Amino acid sequence: MLPMLWLLLSLAVPVLGFYTPVSCPQGHKCQLALLSGNDVLLECPVHGAQWKYYFSVIKKSQAFNPSKAPNIEVTLRGHLSITRPLPSQTGNYYCWEKNSTQVTQYEIDFQDVNSLHITHMGLDQMPLQNESLRAGGQEIMFTLWEPWQDCNRCGAPGERKRLGYCYVIEPLEDPIPCGLYLGESLAWLPRQKPEVQFEACFVECNDMSFALVSFVIFDSFSFNEEQESLWLSCPLASIYRPVSWEADNISLTWQNQLSGKHFNSTLDISTGGKQLQIFQPATYRCFVEQEFVAQFNPMESLELMEPLMRENKSEAPARKLHSVPLMLKLLLLIGTALSLGLLLFNTLCPLSGKSRSLLLVK
């Protein structure tokens, strides 16, 4: 059983990276804004698709060519996966069937996640104001908000967030994402920022939340002399879905972090809290869409070795082996009667199904 399990696990780990699916009907042109740095999957409605893309900033049309954009890949099913898109990859993405004239076109503005304007209702922070694009002009730059995401916890105090994208509107026209509106004019305006807003929430758990107990335990992080901090990454998490973390059963909230109260950990805003930077050993747990997804335990045996290491730094490089925080050991899968395959299927499918409604075609 064990070798089999390890084989399955080594196959399963890459799958745990989550690409938020985005769809657009065949023959349509869909214009939308997304955030840079967060993986997305552009779906092509036909099988065996061909893809071409055109980055409006670089002004260079190119047929699909992996060497030119190493973070863009056509999947086996003919979708286009974009890993950590760059703001400069704002532009047009086309997919079509070999001899079909029905072309699906995405026009995507990857807004710069590093310029996110962050506000929390509980801290009375103000979102960005509307602004005229030019003095005396009629174009308004404003934030178009997505719906609030679900509360990130149930049966306990949680928080929810919503993303807002920079758009420009002219009288009698539909709003256009800032990056597409401004296109090749490279001047960056101070108002040209995406936003994220948080607020506290509380929801009861519906019974279904407990029906499926499936999570993973990573027994694999340890601090060493060279590292002040480590990064943990919550599988299946994304900025486009609700994520929350606990350290020794205590919730790590955005409210505390934004008011400077977390010293032992930092939620990474550019991934919406998928990544957590930690400075202390503790038991960390993460939840995605209110479901417990993973637990990270410190490596006990190595902690015992810690005083020894401090005495002789020259051995430290050998311990680099342990510094890869995750991916190494996927020790335990809970869910006694279920096979691993079924577990993964159950974990992945209901979640990806739910997320589909997050991003609507505009």
Ligand X SMILES: *[C@@H]1O[C@H](CO)[C@@H](O)[C@H](O)[C@H]1NC(C)=O
Contacting residues toward ligand X, per CB under 6 A? 99-100, 130, 140, 142, 169, 248-249, 261-264, 280, 283, 312, 314-315
Write the CA distances from 117 to 133, 150, 163, 336, 353, integer angstroms.
18, 20, 10, 44, 29
CB proximity list for 97: less than 8 A, separation 6 or greater: 46, 47, 48, 49, 50
**Taking the CA of residue 151 as centre, how many other CA atoms within 13 Å lie in the half-sphere pointing to its CB?**
13
Least distance to ligand X, CB of residue 312, Å: 4
Choose among 325, 241, 321, 319: nearest CA to 277: 325
- For ligand X, the closer of residues 225 and 248 by Cβ is 248
Write the CA distances from 220 to 15, 301, 302, 321, integer angstroms.
19, 11, 10, 11
**Taking the CA of residue 337 as centre, how many other CA atoms within 13 Å lie in the half-sphere pointing to its CB?**
1
Least distance to ligand X, CB of residue 235, Å: 20
- For ligand X, the closer of residues 73 and 139 by Cβ is 139
Least distance to ligand X, CB of residue 262, Å: 6
Helix (H) or strand (E) holding 265: strand 265-267
CB proximity list for 75: less than 8 A, separation 6 or greater: 41, 81
CA angle 205, 211, 215 (to 5 degrees): 95
CB proximity list for 106: less than 8 A, separation 6 or greater: 22, 24, 29, 30, 32, 42, 92, 93, 94
Least distance to ligand X, CB of residue 13, Å: 26
CB proximity list for 268: less than 8 A, separation 6 or greater: 231, 274, 275, 276, 277
- For ligand X, the closer of residues 18 and 292 by Cβ is 292
Least distance to ligand X, CB of residue 169, Å: 5
Least distance to ligand X, CB of residue 65, Å: 24
- For ligand X, the closer of residues 151 and 252 by Cβ is 252
- For ligand X, the closer of residues 306 and 315 by Cβ is 315
Other beta carbons less than 10 A from residue 251's beta carbon? 18
Least distance to ligand X, CB of residue 208, Å: 20
- For ligand X, the closer of residues 249 and 357 by Cβ is 249
DSSP code string of 10-46: HHHHHHTS--EEE---TT-EEEEEEETTS-EEE--SS
- For ligand X, the closer of residues 247 and 351 by Cβ is 247
Least distance to ligand X, CB of residue 360, Å: 18
- For ligand X, the closer of residues 73 and 268 by Cβ is 268
